[in-house]
Structure 1
Amino acid sequence: MAGNNVNDVELLSDWLKDTSEPHEFEEPILDDFVLQTLQFASDKFDLDVHVFILSVCIIEQYLRKRENGSVCPIDEGLILMAGLFISSKFIGGTNHLSSEDAVGFLESVTFRDYEIHMLMRSEEEILRVINFSIPLATVADHLGLLSQMYLERHKINMNLMPLCNHILQMLYVRRKKWYNELKNLYSQDEETIVAFRFLMINKFYIPAAVLLTCWHITEVKTIVDFNTAVNELQLITKIQRDHLNLAAGVILNLFEKKS
């Protein structure tokens, strides 16, 4: 047991040291309606938020790489469900989406006929184009670890993950809106534009902003001093509190509008 604890501490230490994602951040591609459809499918089949987030990553990665090498038309519905299908298999566990269910859902929302072999062909096409490169961790994983670490550190007996995941999912469904809003706020001059780029490749930026949003609307702020909490997040993420507060403010605004 002691050995496992040491390994856990070492892994956590490595995770905290590496703040950047292994690639440049690229602007969102998928429109709100497409993301809402993807979310609807995820909810219908009780798929974890990790499946939804990963499917967005896979689909957008495919679309970016495909733009550079193909002019053939694609069936957007098939690509959407194939991305979700791949993601559900990759995450595994109880997140099982059968090919029959995927095709049935696609037919119900498009009023068109599809065959399972068409889904399989789209799955193969996506994996080939992205060169089988599927992220091992997403923003949902970083959010879970950050939340767990903070709650354990302060001995807070409260499960924030359902709300955090709900906020994250809402944020992803409206990705273009919050991204463009933040981008506009950071478009004052070259210095702020560069700062925004660095923020968007920091793997803690969105998780920390979501966690901060969660604190704003729960009882955590009555348990832990809010300024202390934000200062600690700043220390962990290496992101100045002004940036975190600004991002949380944008998310809160979106959350309140939706509610």
Structure 2
Amino acid sequence: MNYLSKYESNLLTEWLSEMLKNEGKYLEPILDTRSTILIKDICNMLKQDIHVFGFAVDTIEEYIARKSSRGEEIDDPALTLVSTIFICSKYLGDQDLKIPSLGNILKKVTGHVYEPKLIRLKEMEILTVLNHSLPINNNVEDLKAFVTKFEKESRIKVSILPICIEILELMYLTRKEWFYSLKKLYIISNEAMKVFKKLITSRFYLPIGILIYVFKNTSYSNTLDVDSILEDLANGSKIHSDHLNALVSKINEIMNNL
């Protein structure tokens, strides 16, 4: 079995330290599951992975929010979607993604021919609306760093990272549903809502929830003391185990509804 080198361990320790110190941005989901599935399908057609998919979802929602604040509507959803994926791919995905490929996808999806100029203009318009500042997306790398360090130090023989990534993808696909379902538990008071916003912006919240769900629903539940692991992770992340258990329950609901 391969264990972490000292150098790798130090890098992951630094990453986890940054996760603890730096919070994400609190944004309420806009896209429904049908829309996120469409984004995922287009990413698959363009051979873009979960990094681009997650980044595209966040970027499109940011774009929609800013357009709405200006009293503007999305004039061409299909063009907007494909152009956003193109932008995100330049940062995280396939650098060789070309405009003709985007035109082919648009024709397949809409039945219409899009000139390359239209795609370039939409790309420029999206970047202008976002002030040329895309929403930072660390979810995939945060999960990878967290799970990799944990499974190596815990001497887990078979990597759980692939299934953790699959669950993260499902969380993106269904996030409007589970987000507002969880929010209902916290709208009882202003203080509870402050806690909820703190949870959503914590970079440990999703990784821990996904990890604990996997441990509880695989053969590791027979060999690991999952409750003790949960308490240790709760203490280290400064997130109470009750909140983490609530998230695990939502993940369980998602998986049961597949």
Structure 1 residues 49 and 253, CA, compared in 2 at 3 Å: closer, same or farther?
same
- In structure 2, what is the equivalent of residue 193 of structure 1? 193
Root-mean-square deviation (Å)? 2.2
- In structure 1, what is the equivalent of residue 78 of structure 2? 77
- Give the ranges of 4+ consecutive aligned residues of structure 1 lying more than 3 Å apart after TM superposition: 2-7, 94-97
1:15-34 to 2 correspondences below 5 Å = 15-21=18-24, 23=25, 25-34=26-35
- In structure 1, what is the equivalent of residue 210 of structure 2? 210
| Structure 1: gaps (5+ residues) | none
- In structure 2, what is the equivalent of residue 117 of structure 1? 117
Contact 1:205 1:244 in 2 (8 A): yes
The CA deviation at 1:234 is 0.7
TM-superposition CA deviations, 1:157-199 (whole Å, max 9, x none): 2222221111111111111110111011222233322211111
TM-superposition CA deviations, 1:30-88 (whole Å, max 9, x none): 12221111111122333211110011111111111222235365211111111111111
- Within the candidate set 4, 7, 11, 1:8 is matched to 11
Instruction: Find the aligned partners of 1:167 and 1:72 in 2 and give their Cα distance.
Output: 32
Contact 1:48 1:95 in 2 (8 A): no
Instruction: Find the aligned partners of 2:134 and 2:157 in 1 and give their Cα distance.
Output: 34
Contact 1:52 1:84 in 2 (8 A): yes
The CA deviation at 1:101 is 2.0
- In structure 2, what is the equivalent of residue 57 of structure 1? 58
Instruction: Find the aligned partners of 2:148 and 2:12 in 1 and give their Cα distance.
Output: 13
TM-superposition CA deviations, 1:118-176 (whole Å, max 9, x none): 12111111112212223444211211111111112212122222211111111111111
Q: Percent identity?
A: 26
- In structure 2, what is the equivalent of residue 226 of structure 1? 226
Structure of higher RCO (CA pairs closer than 8 Å, 6+ residues apart): 2
Instruction: Find the aligned partners of 1:45 and 1:220 in 2 and give their Cα distance.
Output: 36
TM-superposition CA deviations, 1:3-55 (whole Å, max 9, x none): 9558626623532431512x3x1111112221111111122333211110011
Which shows bigger deviation, 74-83 or 108-117? 108-117
**Equivalent residue pairs, number:** 254
Q: What TM-score results when the alignment is normalised by the length of structure 1? A: 0.89
SS at match of 1:159: coil
Contact 1:47 1:95 in 2 (8 A): no
| Structure 2: gaps (5+ residues) | none
Structure 1 residues 222 and 6, CA, compared in 2 at 3 Å: closer, same or farther?
closer
